[in-house]
Structure 1
């Protein structure tokens, strides 16, 4: 019988004069230190090392560095999901007695967090139109601590007046957090425009393959980054090493995927606008978009990879369109390498009343498209087929 190695539970990696081309995946939950003095040094910053994966691990740290560079952030924290990143940003900065002002077209779960969860902790919340600085100003209170906006809203693709809101907030000593998931760092780097916090659902276009659930929250203020990091560690908002490893892989092709998807989205929006039965097309780079001028200045004229459109406002038409959308996944997500189709009335905004959805411009015939990297002509053909089926109803 071969003797087992003595004095250790795991064999060490064999030494090698070569190195892996792909970053190693390190799924270990715990890390062993040689003695208590070394562990003290690790916790007190005198020595570099890992202790427990909820606090830090190599794959998260590597991904954080890449995302910090992409957003121009002084520091950041990778979290287990996009909503975990939103939670870290809010709970590390606001407290009982504070007021949080949000954009009135935030992602559905962000709206729920503001409407139902934060008030339980004594945090007052309200909403205002992020495209109208006057409306934001009118909604401020003496106790307003933070303004939370999305660069491009979900799913109506309105473009926030980031510069105007940041200027207003700076004059009042209020923090601004920007969820930059739709725009991505290629479209906008909010910290460079004066925002205090930038948030991402890395799950989406940054990772780009629908196989990793992650978030990121970054800032330039080291004290703010540390508060968000400690809160994430304490509340267990931890990112999986495997998901971090997958997202790192996705980031290396992000620029190419962004360019292809954005070009395809512009073509699809133009084609949809000419299809019989399509009553509305929403794409920020189009001349008929209400924020077209802001898109030109804030987002360098690029509309991004998201397109929304509307057909007859009935469930029958919606069902027919989805069933006829050959090869296009009907799924409540975005940012995949392939195009996905979403129906906000039954997914992201299903918790709202019909009247609430109508106020946002979301009907039964409203669809959101996350455009992928397929051949654009083939993509247009598929949507023409789907719209024709909706018209047939």
Structure 2
């Protein structure tokens, strides 16, 4: 609609159509107009569904949230601007000064920094423990312990958390069990089926799958906790981009096909690497020689997922040669892409740790994490064979 001088007063309505779009429309509008103050009250007070300001919610975020809610089997999740925003919405949105949180000792690098540097600064005390040892975790519980944060499969050594044992412990002590399900995804593991209270995802990784999206997600079993996390995310501006949500929905449509293909290739790659000269060790949850093989079989069944870690002989010098010779593979600190990517924890995710601290975690200079993509398996095995030979000859 236009006034007599021709300036725009409000946008014209979209043309009516008897058909509907096959692809979800992108809705980049920051604000949404209401007809009257009473109509706005109806939205804010929940009598009608509607949008007001995109920081408080928008259609594309709701589409992604509902898809993930269905995948995890729990309604009411919140989509955030990144995976770490989701972690922060959970931890900072629910804990207060004086509370205590126990974290797994091999969390994602930035989650570790949050535990070590930022939470203590805000008066939240932290302890790191082995999530595969329930008794060790139990010894660290204090009267003020409110939360335990773990990953099903750790980054980057692929250790397993004893989710069943931890859930029983948390239920006994009245503590929230928070599970980061990014590595395993809902295709590989369902945390709520095993007693989790809150589940976190970095949608950026396997769920979106194309290295062109940055989003996170968190959902709780308790609707009141979902509301608390959502309000904190809105207040602190953890708003997801409509465009990123639109791209993520596209990626999620092919997620299960991508996950299954990458997982099959990862199992082949792990066995192949184990037979190559110059490889000190290979870590893959379904291999018999994995330290947590029995726990992996119990929790994951046949889903070994798409991550493989290994250690080269020769340290940093061999690592440099390996990445140069791994033709066609991106050396980049990410995972879940359609293409295989290589990550070197000592120079990326865990570079803030001392050499001794990395050594205690088993992260030498020759250690790599591989996120297996969708390449033809025979091509991928050939690339690794040649790169390992060049690096260790």
TM-score range, shorter chain: over 0.9
Per the TM alignment, residue 16 of structure 1 is displaced from its structure 2 partner at its CA by 1.4
Distance in 2 (alpha carbons) for counterparts of 1:202 and 1:5: 44
Distance in 1 (alpha carbons) for counterparts of 2:113 and 2:32: 38
Q: What is the match of residue 110 of structure 1?
A: 111
Distance in 2 (alpha carbons) for counterparts of 1:6 and 1:328: 53
Q: How does 1:316-327 map to 2 (within 5 A)?
A: 316-327=317-328
Per the TM alignment, residue 10 of structure 1 is displaced from its structure 2 partner at its CA by 2.3
Q: Which runs of 4+ in 1 moved over 6 A?
A: 2-7
Distance in 2 (alpha carbons) for counterparts of 1:90 and 1:56: 21
Q: How does 1:255-334 map to 2 (within 5 A)?
A: 255-334=256-335
Q: What is the match of residue 185 of structure 1?
A: 186
Q: Unmatched 5+ residue regions in structure 2?
A: none
Distance in 1 (alpha carbons) for counterparts of 2:130 and 2:143: 19
Per the TM alignment, residue 297 of structure 1 is displaced from its structure 2 partner at its CA by 1.2
Per the TM alignment, residue 103 of structure 1 is displaced from its structure 2 partner at its CA by 0.3
Distance in 1 (alpha carbons) for counterparts of 2:6 and 2:208: 39
Contact 1:339 1:373 in 2 (8 A): yes
- Please provide the CA RMSD for this pair: 1.3
Contact 1:313 1:363 in 2 (8 A): no
> In the TM superposition, what whole-angstrom CA distance separates every residue of 1:50-87 from its partner, at most 9, and x where no partner exists?
00000000000111000000011122000000000000
Q: How does 1:1-393 map to 2 (within 5 A)?
A: 8-392=9-393
The alignment's TM-score, normalised by the length of structure 2, stands at 0.98
Which stretch of the first structure deviates more once superposed, 360-369 or 88-97? 88-97
Contact 1:324 1:385 in 2 (8 A): yes
Q: Alignment length, in residue pairs?
A: 391
177 and 5 in structure 1: CA distance in 2 versus 1, 3 angstrom threshold = farther
Contact 2:335 2:341 in 1 (8 A): yes
Contact 2:314 2:392 in 1 (8 A): no
The alignment's TM-score, normalised by the length of structure 1, stands at 0.98
Contact 1:106 1:150 in 2 (8 A): yes
Contact 1:74 1:221 in 2 (8 A): no
Per the TM alignment, residue 12 of structure 1 is displaced from its structure 2 partner at its CA by 2.5
Per the TM alignment, residue 93 of structure 1 is displaced from its structure 2 partner at its CA by 1.6
Contact 2:100 2:145 in 1 (8 A): yes
Distance in 2 (alpha carbons) for counterparts of 1:204 and 1:5: 47
Per the TM alignment, residue 144 of structure 1 is displaced from its structure 2 partner at its CA by 0.4
